[in-house]
Amino acid sequence: MADGSHPILDGENFERAPEAASPYAPVCFVVDEDRSIRNFLSLILHGAGIDTEEFADRTSFARAIAQRHPVIVFLNVGTETGEAIEILQLLAQRGYVGFVQLMSRRGPTAIAQVQNASDQRKLQMLPVLMKPFDNSAVAGIIRQLELGDPAPTTAKIKLDDALRNGWIEFWYQPKISLRKKQLAGVESFARARHPQFGVLSPGAFMPGAAKADLIILAELALVSALKAAARCFKVGINLRFAVNMPADALAKLPIADIVRALRPQTDHWAGLVIDVTEEEIITDLALAARMAELLAHDQVELAIDDFGRGYSSLARLKHLPFCELKVDRTFVNDCGVDRINAPLCKTIIDLAHNFGSAAVAIGIEKASDVRALTKMGCDMGQGFLLGQPMPEERFMSLLRQRAVGQGRPAAALAL
């Protein structure tokens, strides 16, 4: 990649689940003996709306290619070029008409051997992707081939229209333990599925929204997350869900009643996190403290979101029981190299730990930032590099398939 390495490509293996194939999504095959590279590629492809199947060798690949027809095959040229050549031969024998993307750390001689074999078989070969590579290189290939979900539009709609017409749905983004390199939780994000403009992100419908509509949206997010948590628990996946909520909703919604009615009915439930921005939580710390105490009985805790924007009084914050402090993305960006952001991130991470809370970095897009945050002691991370938000059915089937593929209970995916 651009900075010369990647935490996943360097063998620090993030646990993630491959996607169960959708009948409507294109599928990509990823062939590489290194599971961390397979996982990294699948993270990017899943986020773009492309299903994947991962293979460590020719044998497992051969079984799958007899049943499915991928639009693209990412094929590693490893130490033994013969395996890659055999896979190309197999593709040619089956009349494969999709694209082949070679990727390798090998020198030009080894790569040329495989390319010559592909030329003889008249396969559609893309320019070689040299390792280590970053997410932007893969995203460029997806755009070039016009695969996956269409690019977001610049359309603007009103939140009240989206609510009234039932366009709102909730997507889920993985939260990753940076120390354990495992899935640690999931956060809910609103999307609007417009009949004309397609799926719209919050920037298309949140600006200018009325407080009453934001409270309705928060209630929908809470209900959706609790139902998703209950469905996950029924299939053996026990994850801690998080939802975003304005401070007004804390006071006006019957949160405790909703949680008690819809949460997984077990003493072992992982619980729920409610994220409230620093700017809002600081305006009524007494309310936040009361709600934190009330909701603790139902395994619900508060987190401070976008920390660093609000210039809060630390003396006041220390009296508020919160489980997470989420480092604002403006500080996370380039924290591995920026002389200002690096010490700010470290200060916020240490502050969270001094408060007895977990530090969560949001908006992670660069491998260098992952490494820096891990060294700083940051507990969890979210962002494009670690997994994009995805529809609930995609997220759940992703978890189930990883559990089955690893031959262990699905509950083992949760921390």
Question: How far does Cα 111 stand from its chain's mean position?
Answer: 33
Number of CB atoms found within 10 A of residue 261's CB = 10
The dihedral built from the CA positions of residue 252, 167, 49 and 151, taken in this order, carries a sign that is negative
- The architecture in CATH of the region 27-145 reads 3-Layer(aba) Sandwich (3.40)
Q: What's residue 152's pLDDT?
A: 64
> Is the Cα torsion angle 227, 233, 234, 236 positive or negative in sign?
positive
Q: How many C-beta atoms surround the C-beta of residue 4 within 10 A?
A: 9
Counting Cβ atoms within 10 Å, is residue 408 exposed (0-12), middle (13-18) or buried (19+)? exposed
Distance, in Å, from the CA atom of 18 to the CA atom of 252, rounded to the nearest integer, reads 40
User: Can you give the pLDDT of all 415 residues of the chain as single tens digits?
Assistant: 433 333 332 333 333 333 344 445 788 999 999 988 887 888 778 777 788 889 999 999 999 999 888 999 999 999 889 999 999 999 999 999 999 999 999 999 999 999 988 877 789 999 999 998 877 888 889 989 988 777 666 789 999 999 999 999 999 998 999 988 888 999 999 999 999 998 899 999 999 999 999 999 999 999 999 999 998 888 888 899 999 999 999 989 999 999 999 998 888 899 999 999 888 887 788 888 899 999 998 999 999 998 876 555 565 666 677 899 999 999 999 998 899 999 999 999 999 999 899 999 999 988 889 999 999 999 999 988 888 888 888 787 667 655 554 544 443 333 2
Residues of the chain with CATH 3.40.50.2300: 27-145
**Alpha-carbon span 56 to 155, nearest angstrom:** 42
Q: Identify the CATH number of the domain defined by range 159-413.
A: 3.20.20.450
**Which residues are registered as beta bridge partners of 200?**
192
Please state, in angstroms and rounded to a whole number, the distance separating the CA atoms of residues 144 and 152: 16
Distance CA 21, CA 40 (A): 17
- The answer to whether the predicted template modeling score (pTM) of the entire model surpasses 0.85 is no
Going by the DSSP 8-state scheme, the letter that residue 280 receives in this structure is: H
* pLDDT confidence of residue 175: 92
Beta-strand relationship, 168-177 and 182-194: antiparallel
Where in the chain are all domains bearing CATH 3.20.20.450?
159-413
The residue with tokens 């891990």 is 374
Residues with Cβ within 8 Å of residue 15, at least 6 apart in sequence: 181, 182, 183, 402, 413
User: What's the rounded Cα separation, in Å, for the pair 247 and 266?
Assistant: 28
Q: Which pLDDT score, from 0 to 100, does residue 190 have?
A: 97
Burial (Cβ within 10 Å: 0-12, 13-18, ≥19) of residue 207: exposed
The reported pLDDT for the residue numbered 159 is: 97
Closest alpha carbon to 75 in 116, 18, 25, 37: 37
Nearest to 173 by CA among 157, 190, 159: 190
Strand partners, 324: 303, 358
Is there a contact between 216 and 252 (Cβ–Cβ < 8 Å)?
A: no
Those residues with Cβ within 8 angstroms of residue 394's Cβ, 6 or more apart along the chain or in another chain: 19, 22, 46
The amino acid present at 299, given as its one-letter code, is Q
Q: Which pair of tokens denotes residue 280?
A: 């809002």
Paired strand residues for 103: 76, 129
Angle CA 187–189–190, to nearest 5: 155
Q: Which residues are paired to 199 by β-bridges?
A: 193
Classify 173 as helix, strand or coil: strand
As a whole number of angstroms, the longest Cα–Cα distance in the chain is: 73
Nearest CA to 364 out of 353, 373, 355, 375 is that of 373
**Residue-level pLDDT at 275:** 96
